[in-house]
Amino acid sequence: MLHGNLERIILGDETNSMMELYYTKIIESLVVITLYVLFRLVTNKFINRTITDKIVQKSRSQLIKRAINFITLTVCLIILLIIWGVEHSELAAFVGSVLTVLGVAMFAQWSILSNITSSIVIFFNHSVKIGDSIGIMETKDY
C-alpha cells in the first residue's frame, strides 16, 4: 500500500511538471500572438496615417499592408514553432529550403522583387504623389 501511494506521488509530480511546461508554452504563445496583433494594428495605423499625409492610391496601400502583414505573420509563426519545441536544425532546414525555392523563383522574376522593394521604400521615405514625375539616373552618370 505504501508503495502504491509513493508511485502516485511520484507520477503526480511528473504530471504537474508536464502541465506547468504546457502552461508556460501556452502563456508564451498567447504573448507572441498578442504582440503580433498589436504590431499589426500599429503598422496598419501608421500606413493609414502615411496615406492621409500623402495623396496615395488605396490599392498601393493595400499592397504594402499585405507585404508587411505577410512578413510579420511569418516571423510570428517561426517564433511559435520554436516555443512549441521544433528543433532549430529542422526549422533551419525547412526555412532554408523555402528561401532557396523563393530565391530561385524571385531571381527568375528579379524585376518584380525590385519593384516590390522599391515601392515600399518610396511609400515610406519619399513624398511622391500621384502625378509627380520621377527621374531615374543612368548607371554611367554617377
Helix (H) or strand (E) holding 105: helix 88-108
Of 8-17, 34-43, 44-53, 91-100, least confident by mean pLDDT is 8-17
Instruction: Check whether 75 has a pLDDT greater than 50.
Output: yes
What fold characterizes domain 2-127?
Helix Hairpins (1.10.287)
How confident is the model at residue 2, as a pLDDT?
47
Highest mean pLDDT, choosing among 70-79, 100-109, 115-124, 129-138: 70-79
pTM: 0.56
Q: Among 13, 64, 22, which Cα is nearest to 43's?
A: 64
Q: 6 pLDDT band (50/70/90 cuts)?
A: very low
